[in-house]
Amino acid sequence: MTKPLAGFDNRVISEKSFTLPDTDSQPAQAGEEIPRTTTPAGSGFFAGKVAIVTGSESGIGRETARELCRQGAQVVLNGLCSKRLEQTRRAFWQAGYSVASCVADVTDYAQCERLINEAVQAFGRIDVLITNASISMRAYFADLTPDVFRRVLDSNVYGSVYPLKAALPYLTESAGVVTFISSISALNGMPSGSAYCAGKAALINLTHTLNLELHGTGIQLGVVHLGFTQNDDDKRVLDAAGLAVPIAYRNPRWQMSQSEVARAILKHIRKRRTKTVLTPMGLLINFMTCYFPKTGDRVIRWTMKNWKRFYE
Ligand SMILES: NC(=O)c1ccc[n+]([C@@H]2O[C@H](COP(=O)([O-])OP(=O)(O)OC[C@H]3O[C@@H](n4cnc5c(N)ncnc54)[C@H](OP(=O)(O)O)[C@@H]3O)[C@@H](O)[C@H]2O)c1
């Protein structure tokens, strides 16, 4: 069996020139150069390790990537919007982090293969894969167009399956860690989030099944159920017709900060856990779902009647 995370070649990557695309969101191009930096890996728990974080041009993914860099990892950033991805990469580079980036749609397998190939080309190996990219929604199932359901489900299921499938040979070689970013809404479902909850819940079974299949390879899969977290101001989710709309209001007092969440994700990885549930509300839902499911559902139905704003 491969020794976990051993034998890393702590080499310095040579700077490559690249041009910043002048449109906001461009489809990934086959063979597009992976921007990278010259900064060597730092010190910290993840020193000498290479991590890919999908959907890391913004939000929680960006903070998780930043925390990985702080703890010494060499990190490959990913997203759909080339301009924003490049802004993030450049900010990390200016902070002295060892970072590369790759525009790729994680719901497209060929683009995931390119993401993985370019990560290996940049840093030589893959030790950690965090599948964070996701599209969320706020719409009741009765109103939802089938296409919106599919898009949300695809981003949460295939957006995790495809990068993992493409990275599997490298993760096997490094006895690496895979972390699926899920939600506390996957634990018991959430009204107005059917496709999102279904997609996030699928990751639970996928984790379990693959840990059984891959037992003995050294690869460790785990799922982190995030609770309410501070969002970027421009975060958008899909409505019933597929329009990008602001996320439903959440009381800031119930939210963890993105950096708190990032640190919790890294702790989960360091401890090689299979499941982590964040926030007191997440722990309560987990407990109620296991031991008092009917009472939990009664509470949710009450909130649907009395806290409409929470779901709509
Ligand atoms: N925020 C919360 O309260 C909360 C709660 C529970 C779970 N989570 C989970 O935490 C993760 C991060 O959430 P967030 O709030 O940071 O979301 P976010 O701000 O919407 O960030 C998601 C990122 O994923 C990218 N992305 C979406 N689809 C992609 C695709 N097909 N290929 C590549 N990149 C793609 C987005 O890029 P573009 O912007 O260019 O589309 C964006 O950078 C998600 O998995 C989410 O479900 C969040």
Using an 8 Å Cβ cutoff, are 175 and 4 in contact? yes
> For ligand 1, is residue 136 a contact (CB within 6 Å)?
yes
Q: What is the CATH number of the domain that holds 262?
A: 3.40.50.720
pLDDT in tens, 229-285: 999 999 999 999 999 999 888 888 889 999 999 999 999 999 999 999 999 999 999
Q: Is residue 27 part of a domain?
A: no
Which atom belonging to ligand 1 lies closest to the Cα atom of 229?
Answer: 3
Residue 44 located in a structural domain: no
- Is residue 170's pLDDT more than 90? yes
Q: Is the pLDDT confidence value at 17 over 70?
A: no
- Taking the CA of residue 136 as reference, the ligand 1 atom at the shortest distance is 47
| Range(s) of the domain holding residue 146 | 50-311
Catalytic-residue membership of 196 = yes
pLDDT at 36: 54
Question: Rounded to the nearest whole angstrom, what is the distance from the C-alpha of residue 174 to the centroid of ligand 1?
Answer: 27
Arithmetic mean of pLDDT over the chain: 88
Q: Is residue 74 part of a domain?
A: yes
Confidence of residue 309 (pLDDT cuts 50, 70, 90): confident
**Is position 72 within any domain?**
yes
Catalytic residue among 97, 196, 249, 291: 196
Task: For residue 131, tell me if it sits in a domain.
Answer: yes
120-160, pLDDT tens digit by residue? 999 999 999 999 999 999 999 999 999 999 999 999 999 99
User: 26 lies in a domain?
Assistant: no
The total of structural domains in the chain comes to 1
> Does 4 score more than 90 pLDDT?
no
The answer to the question of residue 28 being in a domain is no
Q: How far is the CA of 61 from the centre of ligand 1 (A)?
A: 7
Q: Domain for residue 15, yes or no?
A: no
